[in-house]
Structure 1
Amino acid sequence: MKVTVRYFARYRSLVGKSEEELEVPDEITVGGLIEILKERHPALKNEVFAEDDDLADVNVSRNGRYVRFDEVLRDGDVVAIFPPVSGG
């Protein structure tokens, strides 16, 4: 199945593009997609995600809605990867 991944802020800089379409296995979870992205783009693994796989430094939305990492993706989903937002 195909999903579109959109990168925002520092993730866009690390990956070198704002969007890509990927062929992924059926029934893949958001966490599984993150693992594929770390393999495709080592800068994400080295610069963003901690070695102990702490994903607290990333927000993920699926079709415009925040999701958990155990949520299963569907064909045609648009997944956005962006850093946590802070303000004050």
Structure 2
Amino acid sequence: MRIRVRYFARFRSLVGTGEEELEVPEGTTIGGLIEILKERHPVLKNEVFAEDDDLADVNVSRNGSYVGFDEVLEDGDVVALFPPVSGG
């Protein structure tokens, strides 16, 4: 199935693009997609996800809504990755 991944802020700079389309297997979860992206873009593995299972440095939306890492993707989904926002 095909999905679109959009990168924002630091992720866009690291990956070198704002958006890409990927073919992923049926039943892929957000967490599985993160693993695919780490293999596709090693800079994410080295710079963002340096520690195993460290997903605290990423927010994920699917079709405009925040989702958990166990959310199952569907054909045509748009997934956005962006850093956490903090304020004071």
Q: Same fold per TM (> 0.5)?
A: yes
List runs of 5+ in structure 1 lacking aligned partners: none
In structure 1, the partner of 2:37 is 37
Runs of 4+ in 1 over 4 A off after TM superposition: none
Report the residue type matching 2:10 in the other structure: R
Amino acid at match of 2:61: S
Distance in 2 (CA, whole Å) between partners of 1:79 and 1:22 is 11
Give ranges in structure 2 of 5+ residues lacking alignment. none
Measure the CA separation in 1 of the matches of 2:44 and 2:50: 10
1:1-88 paired onto structure 2 within 5 Å: 1-88=1-88
Q: TM-score, normalised by structure 2?
A: 0.98
Does the residue aligned with 2:13 lie in a helix, a strand or coil?
A: helix
Matched letter for residue 32 of structure 1: G
Shift, 1:44, TM fit: 0.4
CA distance in 2, matches of 1:60, 1:24: 17
Q: Deviations over 1:6-48 (max 9, x none)?
A: 0000000000000000000001000000000000000000000
Amino acid at match of 2:65: R
Q: Distance in 2 between matches of 1:20 and 1:4?
A: 6
Aligned residues: CA RMSD: 0.6
